[in-house]
Structure 1
């Protein structure tokens, strides 16, 4: 099938087995490392239920900008999903989330996804992340930055590699009795499956970073052969007082404390849609691997808030059909 970018939503469903795991590669120069670290999979936890069911509707897209990044791209995005272990009902609910993203996100290249119906730990609804990464490719906006393949392909206006899916999403099949698979809002006693998928695809599209704390020591960079690397997300994370986390020493107590205090995502695009303020990220003490740093703050953006999709937990009766202006502004900052 010939690949092409469609001017409105588009998605292909393929059932397959034997999907490959994450990989990372460099595109320029023999001195570039060939094996780059992959940011850990980000999880969505089952959370407290709101006092009553909440519903965030999909928002109608605003008119395309006449200049800037949006003007350089074709409207909409083309997705190809490889399904493993899904029933028709579950696949249809997953596809619904893909269709929402295809209407919201502009891409100059196809976006490919591996979707796996898996056995995951208790309280984990799903986990996901980039399945392929690229660094220092032609068209990269930042050097020594490890890009999710979906962003890299968009910036280069083609699939750089294409040998494996860009994004991997794993859904917890043990929660099948608790999931709501319908198109309508989830009832008070069910977890909305489409919302879960919409969230996890967001991690594969860019909400992934190296920020972590181990034994009190924090880092937001990974160092290979004396060279520091970041993800696009890491470039925009700041302390509570506005200083960029990347300015702090790697594996330091000071950075560990900052990552467990107040962390924000700051860019002109985010401030433009957030009243001139950066976005608040989830940064509890102690640090929660898979949840801290790469999610929006749960208390700042609670159930029913238009920007609640990318918070770290989802309660029963909480239905979200839109990424929210903050998330879209963050992705614009990172290269979309």
Structure 2
């Protein structure tokens, strides 16, 4: 039985509401947008709030599962974390997740994380995500495309803004955390796995896809996030379907959305990666995760699926996740 707990990303720059913001799609249609708040032109580019991406606590596997962690690699990015209120075990587990990601992405610009350990609302395990997204800055890989803070800074060659690149908050009042270095026992939730997942979203594993009242969009305030450039249904790019249309809404809820790049196919047996696209749109879970049924607990690519069961331990990104991050600017 699924428990109604969720891990939701937080974007602190502009408050995000449950309802979507409508932005013009065509002269006669309006498409919902994944974010709330206006894009802000600044000297170095254009900045906007990023969409929310939750991790839902799902069914526990029949037996506790654990994916073997890879051998240690050299550090290729420096993360600077400001901690607030963490217990020693929680901070140690959080730092292990940070240390892992510091060997998986490469940047000459420090990646700043603001992390708070505090009591949250009922059923909320925590939240994390990029402070904002940027487009049309000096060094941007593609014009008219949003990139998360850490990627934008990497491509620009310096911090575009002094705000943290990733903001994270996790519940100090949740009673079933496992903070240890071993696999999470049955009935507990692995804190390090949760942090590793959410930092993945903060580093760019997220798109602008949304369905609201039968309409749809894969653009944020009129422009795609880098992730959206590679999403398809079959051979059809989702960005080629009209924003605000029932056609796009149907595609986004077709159980047939994929992330398709040469690198993804190269690590996935020549096939695109299946994304989570259930027939009923689940805001924050749909589209910005790998498919739960395809990459089950124990699969090497299960880190970025939308659900984490008790007793499930997955603390590393699989080859598909790494290929997706390459596509979004790493």
Q: Retained in 2: the 8 A contact 1:282–1:292?
A: yes
Give the aligned partner of residue 16 of structure 1: none
What is the root-mean-square deviation of aligned Cα atoms in Å? 2.2
Q: Which runs of 5+ in 1 are unaligned?
A: 1-18, 63-73
Alpha-carbon distance in structure 1 between the residues aligned to 2:72 and 2:95: 20
Mapped pair 1:166 → 2:157: no
Q: Which secondary structure state, in structure 1, belongs to the residue aligned with residue 239 of structure 2?
A: helix
Q: Retained in 2: the 8 A contact 1:134–1:149?
A: yes
Mapped pair 1:83 → 2:83: yes
Alpha-carbon distance in structure 2 between the residues aligned to 1:174 and 1:247: 45
Give the aligned partner of residue 326 of structure 2: 332
Displacement of 1:134 in angstroms is 1.8
Q: Retained in 2: the 8 A contact 1:132–1:164?
A: no
- Structure 1 length normalisation: TM-score? 0.83
Displacement of 1:98 in angstroms is 0.3
Give the aligned partner of residue 248 of structure 1: 241
Residue-by-residue CA offset, 1:129-175 (whole Å, 9 max, x unaligned)? 211322111111111111111001111222222x1110112223332
Give the aligned partner of residue 114 of structure 1: 114
- Structure 2 length normalisation: TM-score? 0.84
Q: Retained in 2: the 8 A contact 1:26–1:137?
A: no
Alpha-carbon distance in structure 2 between the residues aligned to 1:272 and 1:221: 27
1:111-190 correspondence runs (5 A): 111-161=111-161, 163-175=162-174, 177-190=175-188
Residue-by-residue CA offset, 1:275-332 (whole Å, 9 max, x unaligned)? 1111101011211111111000000000000000000010111111211110001001
Instruction: Sort the Cα spacing of 1:323 and 1:166 in 2 relative to 1 into closer, same or farther, 3 A.
Output: same
Alpha-carbon distance in structure 1 between the residues aligned to 2:173 and 2:250: 36
Q: Retained in 2: the 8 A contact 1:264–1:279?
A: yes
With 145-154 and 100-109 compared, the bigger mean Cα shift is at 100-109
2:265 to 239, 261, 271: 271
Q: Which runs of 5+ in 2 are unaligned?
A: 1-9, 15-38
Displacement of 1:121 in angstroms is 4.9
Q: Retained in 2: the 8 A contact 1:130–1:205?
A: yes
Q: Retained in 2: the 8 A contact 1:26–1:136?
A: no
Q: Which secondary structure state, in structure 1, belongs to the residue aligned with residue 103 of structure 2?
A: helix
1:169-248 correspondence runs (5 A): 169-175=168-174, 177-223=175-221, 228-239=222-233, 241-248=234-241
1:68-79 correspondence runs (5 A): 76-79=76-79
Give the aligned partner of residue 22 of structure 1: 13
Q: Retained in 1: the 8 A contact 2:50–2:132?
A: no
Q: Retained in 1: the 8 A contact 2:11–2:132?
A: no
Displacement of 1:195 in angstroms is 0.2
Q: Which secondary structure state, in structure 1, belongs to the residue aligned with residue 137 of structure 2?
A: coil
Give the aligned partner of residue 7 of structure 1: none
Instruction: Sort the Cα spacing of 1:165 and 1:214 in 2 relative to 1 into closer, same or farther, 3 A.
Output: same
Displacement of 1:232 in angstroms is 0.7
Q: Which secondary structure state, in structure 1, belongs to the residue aligned with residue 184 of structure 2?
A: coil
Alpha-carbon distance in structure 1 between the residues aligned to 2:72 and 2:240: 36
Displacement of 1:114 in angstroms is 1.4
Displacement of 1:75 in angstroms is 6.0
Q: Retained in 2: the 8 A contact 1:264–1:280?
A: yes
